[in-house]
Structure 1
Amino acid sequence: MNPQSIPTNSNNDISNPSTVDVRRRLRLGEVLVKEGIISEAQVESALAAQKQSKGKRLGEVLVDMRLVDEVTIVKTLAKRLDLPFVDLNQIKISETALKELPARLMREQNILPIACDTESVTVAFGDPLAMEAIDSVRFSCRKRLVEVVSTPTQIKRFVDRSVSVAESKEDFEDFLRSLGREVDREAAAGEDAAAVRLANKIILDAIRDRASDIHIEPNGDRQELLVRFRVDGECREYRRVPAEYREQLVARLKIMARMNIAERRMPQDGKIRFKLGESEIELRVVTLPTAGENEDVVLRILAGSGAQPLGNMNLSPDYLRAIQNLVESPYGMVLAVGPTGSGKTTTLHAMLGKVNAQEKKVWTIEDPVEITQAGLRQMQVNPQIGLSFASAMRSFLRADPDVIMVGEMRDEETAHMAIEASLTGHLVFSTLHTNNAPETITRLVDMGLEPFSFSDALLAVLAQRLCRRLCDQCKEEYEASEIEKEELSGYLGDGVLSRLGGPGPLKLFHAGGCAECDDTGYRGRLALHELLINNDEIREAIQKKATTAELRLLAEKSGMRTLLQDGAAKCLQGLTDLKQVLAVCSR
């Protein structure tokens, strides 16, 4: 349905006093009983519960008691009052109509203007018996008011999204206007406070929006500068900034990162330390010359924070128990593997949090130090003075360690040092950029590690991916189709699928959309895991230089679930959907 097709007859014209008078005499309970939807006894029970609730309307109480759903309530009232029911997901809401009523009124009364012309405004109500809302709209708008109904949940979702977007856009436009006035004042004085404010606002908004990266993308002298944030693994447009701010913004960011602002032909790297209240945020900055004499800037936000508990790593119960046992080993090597940005460092620090005790000496060498923990002795790689992972490892072995964490096994020397440390009575943690757990073993053997020493040192390999998590506020349950059942059964096996899916029809969840998740249906990310634990069979296979496929078969026989299988299991738990799992895992 589009706004022009919504009926505008006299029955749904709430500017008509006779329409309002009829409405005032109606009672929701009586209407539902008359239509045979609920009984009088259920109405009495709901009215008693309403007295105990804090200002809830009868319809909300009935829904809470699961006596009826809100779609049935709204459609029944629409039928009784001869009003059109509108599914807001199926129409295009007019931006002009949104300006017809104050944002405060829309939020307070849960109403949404969806269409307008020169004479009338069409407004969606979640409760057509809410006379206060009707009276408020009649008082606030001088045009003829035409009423339609929709579910309160849908209206709230669209109000939150529409009003938030409008307010945010308006705020940024006001901000740019104020910057323009500052630029005029500063031109004569030679100051640059406007660029400072713009850079600070972009960084602050990125932190507020939970972004991991900021992309500043100029497009020539006369075109707007595009700013994008990477949130939950995906780039999203933040704002378009007028072209006149291009050079000031890029120059300001380069100054903050202590770069050479005159050098525009070569990429540069730097860091920004940004004060946010009592805390300090570090940003890694890279500039890159792009076509058309432009210069892009990319900022990676390193939120300086403490370690997360191991229980917050989205590990399945059996994997969590296994890792808790592994980190209690007196010596050996545990590897976390996966692509850049898959959460390997976060997971390793969660493991370190379990061994970080007064009776243990824990050394780390990282590039950079992103997570700090009291009790750990943490160092940062510094190539300019020759401080590498390998050189730090050599020093650690002379510094009485119990536990060592090496940020990354970048070369054969570092890998050899890690194995030596593991075999001489130390617990070693490190990371590697590989696709899965079995492949990690063959990669390290191919790198030149001695298979017998490596097989004795290795405790486990934990492969990891991050996929988008369904928003808890708006995810929607549905019954899986036969195709989805077959697909999940192919990944998990019939026995596992029936055990995890439980009795009755198989239920899955899909993305909804609300103000909490910017109407994407997803909020935050979820870790998927593949845990290979070394045992006698796998140890012997490593010594014989087994292939990745052979190691995978042995690991699965010992209880390893693949990344894809772990993701499929988390789909059944309602944490994500299959589309997101397949986006980060190979079949």
Structure 2
Amino acid sequence: MQLGALLLERKLLKPNQLDAALREQEVTGARLGRILVRNGFLRQRVLMEVLHEVAPQALHEESVIVPSIPPRVLRESRSMITADVGPQIYVASMRPAPVVKAMLAPYLAGRDIVFTPCNPARLQDYLDSLVEESPGPRQGGGWERLIRAAMDKDASDIHIIPRHASYTVMLRIQGVLHLEHEGEIEEYTSLASRIKDQARMDMAERRKPQDGGFSVEHNGRIVYLRIVALPTTDGERIVVRLLDPDSMNLGLDDLGITGLSDWRKAVSRPHGLCLICGPTGSGKTTTLNATAREMDFNERAIYSVEDPVEYRIAYAGQVNINNSVGLDFSQGVKTFMRADPDVIIVGEVRDIETARNAIKAAETGHLVIATMHTGSILGAVGRLRDIGVDAHELVHLLRGVMVQRLVRKVCKACGRAGCALCRGTGYKGRTIVSECTYLPNEASVGRLLEGSRTWKTIVEDAVAQMERGVTDHKELHRVFGAEVDDAIDEARSSASTTNASREVLCTAS
């Protein structure tokens, strides 16, 4: 209760969330902190920071991986990282503190090292579990090393690519693919068989695409691996999506959305249609989940239909589509309407039948939040019109539209120069660039349908973030191409015209 009281006092937790977690603890006997993290009520990093204050002894029983510290250095220093808490790193070691500090400091960008008591047996287990610095699959646990290396580097995907006489492993880190390993084709055959076996795929089938998945534990939390095997001319290309719930356990305030107040107004309405748009990998699911977690699950029944369900939302009814039994997006929405819903989340509106049922749900007094693959607000409306949604339906029901992309942020520690913290890339973390509009009434929707724009475009938002130093031109050009150059030229031309007008006024006065 000391932990819960502090979380409430700091407004890191809502009373209904603490009450639900305590009730679950009475039944399961699990640690309160673990329950809060598993249910998405609290991020693990925040939990560690609070435990540091109220129960520092609890950190002695934890262990984590800090990607910027090479396993070689931890082995040489005989050290274990017990907690990563903001500006402080907690370390247990068998070697003298000054020696350990000298060895670890170059990889921590000025963060403080705090020493905790060391359990020799736990230290040895920790060191044995560390990934080799060359994490390519080899005999004796190579697949496990590859998974752990990807998670330690915060990769979102692993691409295993067979080629003519070898194979390649690439990691997608902050949206960009990086070459990780090159190996012999015999090694690939063994690796592919191991992955398909764990993912419960048909080992003998190499002609058709297959999906599967399984879970692993990493840094005290369960990470789900979604596997796709795709037949190509050189063999099966295997893509592993790493779904880490802690990375998704973000609040809307943490995402960097410029028009957030407009989005919150839109989803606060009791009924209507709200759209989150963007290409694959633009963070739509993260925004969707953050939006759902802000809603009071004691007051609103939330249902979602997804393909597939990637991250759990506590107390929400989440349904995987299953086309083999006729359970698609359209059928899922239709079924939800008989299950006493308040909020219906549609993983993707891709056809007229799904759109019709979403519209019907909104018309009958429910809030529908859906995603679409479009690049602009005007494009989202056009897409709905293209698949057969009538304008008069949108006029009465559309509440808000947000379009988003992810861009990498400039590393604050080195300012793009490249350091251990950003692994030499010059970028650390990603943020959302977006365009958003709130449609409070029929007149505002009508103006939107006529093509009238009253909001800052996504490219204009991206340029504004570049000017604030959040990101840079190279990253924006990677994401938007020449479009961002045109926006920069237009902004500079506008600023030049404004300055000239001011000079004329000053001269005249």
Query: Structure 1-normalised TM-score?
Result: 0.58
Secondary structure, aligned partner of 1:425: coil
Distance 1:460 1:174, change over 3 A: closer
Which residue pairs with 2:149 in the alignment? 205
What CA distance in whole angstroms lies between the structure 2 residues aligned with 1:512 and 1:281? Answer: 32
- Which residue in 1 is equivalent to 2:239? 298
For residue 435 of structure 2, what is the aligned residue in structure 1?
530
Aligned-partner Cα distance in 1 for 2:143–2:195: 7
Q: Which amino acid aligns with 2:195?
A: L
Higher relative contact order (CA 8 A, sep 6+): 2
For the Cα contact (< 8 Å) 1:409–1:431, is it kept in 2? yes
Alignment of 1:110-125 (within 5 A): none
| Contact kept in structure 2, 1:538 and 1:555, CA below 8 Å | no
Per-residue deviation, 1:199: 1.3
The change in CA–CA distance for 1:356 and 1:582 in structure 2 (over 3 A counts) is farther
Alignment partners' CA distance in 2, 1:373 and 1:449? 30
Give 2:163's aligned amino acid. N
Q: How many residues are matched? A: 365
Superposition map of 1:80-479 within 5 A:
171-172=132-133, 194=140, 197-220=141-164, 223-276=165-218, 278-292=220-234, 294-305=235-246, 307-316=249-258, 319-475=259-415
- 1:521-560 alignment to 2 at 5 Å? 521-534=426-439, 535-541=441-447, 546=450, 551=451, 554-556=452-454, 560=455
Residues 132 and 145, structure 2, Cα contact 8 Å, conserved in 1: no
RMSD: 3.1
Contact kept in structure 2, 1:272 and 1:282, CA below 8 Å: yes
- Deviations along 1:490-510, whole A, 9 cap, x unmatched? xxxxxxxxxxxxxxxxxxxxx
Q: Please state if 1:566 is matched with 2:461.
A: yes
- Segments of 5+ residues of structure 1 without an aligned counterpart are 1-101, 108-154, 161-169, 181-193, 476-510
- Amino acid across the alignment from 1:539: V
Contact 2:135 2:142 in 1 (8 A): no
Q: CA deviation at 1:175?
A: 8.5
How far apart, CA to CA, are the structure 2 residues paired with 1:460 and 1:174? 45
Give, in angstroms, the shift of residue 218 of structure 1.
Answer: 2.5
**DSSP 3-state at the match of 2:146:** helix
1:234 offset after TM fit, Å?
0.7
Q: Secondary structure at the match of 2:421?
A: helix
Letter in 1 for 2:145: K
- 8 Å contact kept, 2:167–2:188: yes
**Per the alignment, in what secondary structure is the counterpart of residue 357 of structure 1?**
coil
Relative to structure 1, the CA distance from residue 266 to residue 156 in structure 2 (aligned partners, 3 Å threshold; closer, same or farther) is same
For residues 555 and 533 of structure 1, do their structure 2 counterparts lie closer, same or farther at Cα, with a shift above 3 Å needed? farther
Q: Residues 518 and 387 from structure 1, CA distance in 2 versus in 1: closer, same or farther, beyond 3 angstroms?
A: same
Offset from partner CA, 1:467-521 (integer Å, 9 cap, x none): 111112111xxxxxxxxxxxxxxxxxxxxxxxxxxxxxxxxxxx22101111110
Rate the CA distance shift 1:273–1:332 in 2: closer, same or farther, 3 A.
same
Partners of 1:459 and 1:396 lie apart in 2 by 21
C-alpha contact 2:263 2:402 (8 A) present in aligned 1 = no
Distance of aligned partners of 1:575 and 1:259 in 2 relative to their CA distance in 1, 3 Å threshold: same
Q: Tell me what 1:516 maps to.
A: 421
In the TM superposition, what are the counterparts of 1:39-78 in structure 2 within 5 Å? none
Structure 1 position 260, deviation (Å): 1.7
Aligned pair in 2 of structure 1 residues 245, 536: CA closer, same or farther (>3 Å)? same
Q: Deviations over 1:349-385 (max 9, x none)?
A: 1111222331211111112222222222222212222
What SS does structure 1 have at the residue aligned with 2:453? Answer: helix
The one-letter code of the counterpart of 1:540 is: G
Bigger Cα Rg: 1
1:66-112 deviation per Cα after TM superposition (whole angstroms, max 9, x unaligned): xxxxxxxxxxxxxxxxxxxxxxxxxxxxxxxxxxxx989x99xxxxx
Do the aligned residues in 1 keep the contact of 2:271 with 2:365 (CA within 8 Å)? yes
- The secondary structure found in structure 1 opposite 2:245 is coil
Change (3 A) 1:257 1:583: same
Structure 2 stretches of 5 or more lacking a match? 1-71, 78-104, 111-130, 485-509
What's 2:473 paired with? 578
Supply the distance in 1 between the matched residues of 2:426 and 2:272 (Cα, whole angstroms).
42
The share of aligned pairs that are identical, in percent, is 35
Q: Is the 8 A contact 1:303 1:370 kept in 2?
A: no
Deviation at 1:555, TM superposition (A): 2.4
1:356–1:376 CA contact under 8 A, matched in 2: no
Q: Which moved more, 1:457-466 or 1:412-421?
A: 412-421
Kindly tell me: are residues 281 and 174 of structure 1, through their superposed partners in 2, closer, same or farther at Cα, counting changes over 3 Å? closer
1:327–1:355 Cα contact (<8 Å) kept: no
